[in-house]
Amino acid sequence: MATDSALSPRWLDRVRELAQQHTRISPFMIHRRFRIPRPGGERLLRQLEREGIVGPAGPGRSREVLKQLSFDFGPNSRGPI
């Protein structure tokens, strides 16, 4: 279970990856997937909003994923395994 360190780089990376798999994301989705309490999920989403990855929050709604991140797997890579 996540603690108060929900904004650690490890959790931010995991939530960024989750966002890339969906067109919308919510604190509840983060809670279900990673067992981060909803307030921690909201903090993570606010950080992703500042980064321009997700859109603004609406009351009781999920956020739209605005930007798909590109991952560089190297010149000889066939993508993720």
Show the domains of the chain with their CATH numbers. 9-64 (1.10.10)
Residue 11 buriedness (CB in 10 A; 0-12 / 13-18 / 19+): buried
Tell me the pLDDT tens digit for each residue of 39-64: 999 999 999 999 999 999 888 789 99
Q: In 1-81, at which residue ranges do the beta strands (DSSP E only) sit?
A: 24-25, 63-64
In sequence order, which residues have a C-beta less than 8 Å from that of residue 16 and are 6 or more positions away? Answer: 48, 53, 69
Supply the mean pLDDT for the chain. Answer: 83
pLDDT score, position 78: 52
